[in-house]
Amino acid sequence: MGKTLNLKLKVWRQDNADDRGRFEEYDANGIDTDMSFLEMLDVVNEGLIEGGKEPIAFDSDCREGICGTCSMVINGVAHGGQKGTTACQLHMRHFNDGAAITIEPWRATAFPVHRDLIVNRTAFDRIQQAGGFISVRTGSVPDANATPVPKNDSDLAMDAAQCIGCGACVASCKNASAMLFVAAKVSHLSLVPQGQPERERRALAMVEQMDKEGFGNCTVTGSCEAVCPKEIPLDFIARMNREYGRALIKRETSS
């Protein structure tokens, strides 16, 4: 057992998508500093259930920083502000005894609140479905050395593929832009040989779907990069802009 903390929580509660929502305050006492943030919320919920009250609704799955579902803003910062960390990886040792912690859902028009700290992020799914895949037949698995990929390209592709689609980039952006997410997905597939046949169509379709979903425009404030739990760099946005521009030129010259 580590040290214990007594905390004051200010949590956003919202019954459904049509409810106006409100903040409610809770005591979180005897919290072990070795607990993760979500484990702390589990303890609070156990107390609420024992008292006959509705537990705080929040999303979680892997609790290992892989799935990206633990989307919440903690003290005004997506995922709590620890570099390269999701909310489920945030530990209570980063908080002081007696601290007041404000917990909110993502705030973006394209991410409507479903209940409490849970938001509807299916807009990301629709962007992915618009072009974030390879549909051409690639045949059986080739030998490892059959299709050489430049080391720099493979490294960049792996960096982009780390994006878990959590939406922290959107939640931290003053414009609620999804550019970093889309840039990671477009860049990942544009850097590998299998992604070349649909390269232009992919860039056009994913950017156009992003705009349809109501995400804001990127003004390069860098807030997305600062909170990304996988530390996806802004460079990928520039790469996506080049991909999109190339696709537009190719479409206009072929029409």
More confident residue, 145 or 169: 169
Residue-level pLDDT at 146: 79
Q: pLDDT tens-digit profile of 39-75?
A: 999 999 999 999 999 999 999 999 999 999 999 999 9
Strands 4-13 and 77-78, by their bridges, are unpaired
d(CA 189, CA 209): 17
Extents of the domains making up the chain: 4-104, 121-254
Of the candidates 103, 102, 112, 206, the one whose C-alpha atom is nearest the C-alpha of residue 163 is: 206
Q: How far is CA 63 from CA 6, 26, 165, 198, 215, in A?
A: 23, 23, 15, 34, 27
d(CA 114, CA 18): 9
The answer regarding whether domain 4-104 maps to CATH 3.10.20.30 reads yes
> For the whole model, what pTM was predicted?
0.94
- Residue 61 β-bridge partners: none
Residue-level pLDDT at 2: 67
Does the CA dihedral 241-244-247-249 come out positive or negative? negative
Q: How far is CA 64 from CA 3, 61, 97, 138, 232, in A?
A: 23, 8, 25, 32, 18
Looking at 33-37, 146-150, 151-155, 206-210, which range is the least confident one?
146-150
Please work out, in degrees rounded to the nearest 5, the angle formed at the alpha carbon of residue 123 by the alpha carbons of 119 and 124.
Answer: 95
More confident residue, 106 or 147: 106
The CATH architecture to which 121-254 belongs is Orthogonal Bundle (1.10)
3-state secondary structure of 80: coil
| pLDDT greater than 90 at residue 142 | no
> For residues 166 and 229, is the Cβ–Cβ distance under 8 A?
yes
Q: pLDDT tens-digit profile of 179-201?
A: 999 999 999 999 999 899 999 99
Q: How far is CA 187 from CA 17, 21, 129, 190, 248, in A?
A: 34, 38, 16, 5, 16
More confident residue, 163 or 142: 163
Q: What is the mean pLDDT of residues 88-93?
A: 97
Task: Return mean pLDDT, the chain.
Answer: 95
